[in-house]
């Protein structure tokens, strides 16, 4: 992407995907799954808050649409957490596929739209 502060956060997301893969390889260990889901939720709140604050500061025109995508992600992550904590630990495949789609569609797609705006406003 080329905006270092955002790129670092996106690398964290890729690390989380790798943790899901590892949890899946270790027989869907319930504690590991819950730990990874907590990390996903924490990541989302922190990263989305930071990204959205830049959007507001820089008057990014697609802010509202972007924020809605973020909210959808948080709702989905919370939903997965509830499913897992209710005892369904066989949902890792679905979670992994969702995270991969988010990486492609949002991080490599939607996020690219704000790069020019952020750069124009001095974020590198």
pLDDT at 50 over 90: yes
Longest CA pairwise span in the chain (Å): 48
Sequence-distant (≥ 6) Cβ neighbours of residue 42 within 8 angstroms? none
Q: How far is residue 81's CA from residue 40's CA, in Å, rounded to a whole number?
A: 10
pTM: 0.90
| 89-108 pLDDT tens trace | 778 889 999 999 999 999 98
Fold (CATH) for 4-120: 1.20.120
**Tokens at 95, concatenated:** 């979670």
| 62-74 pLDDT tens trace | 999 999 999 999 9
Q: How far is residue 33's CA from residue 29's CA, in Å, rounded to a whole number?
A: 6
The helix-helix angle for 4-25 and 92-102 (nearest 10°) equals: 160
Average pLDDT for 16-27:
84
């Amino acid at each position: 992407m080329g905006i270092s502060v955002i790129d670092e956060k996106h690398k964290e997301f890729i690390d989380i995907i790798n943790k899901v893969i590892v949890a899946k390889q270790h027989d869907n260990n319930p504690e590991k799954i819950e730990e990874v889901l907590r990390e996903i939720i924490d990541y989302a709140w922190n990263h989305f808050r930071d990204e959205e604050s830049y959007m507001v500061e820089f008057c990014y025109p697609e802010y509202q649409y972007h924020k809605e995508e973020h909210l959808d992600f948080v709702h989905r992550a919370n939903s997965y957490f509830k499913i897992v904590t209710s005892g369904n630990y066989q949902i890792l495949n679905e979670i992994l596929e969702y995270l991969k789609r988010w990486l492609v569609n949002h991080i490599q797609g939607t996020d690219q739209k704000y790069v020019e705006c952020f750069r124009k406003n001095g974020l590198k």
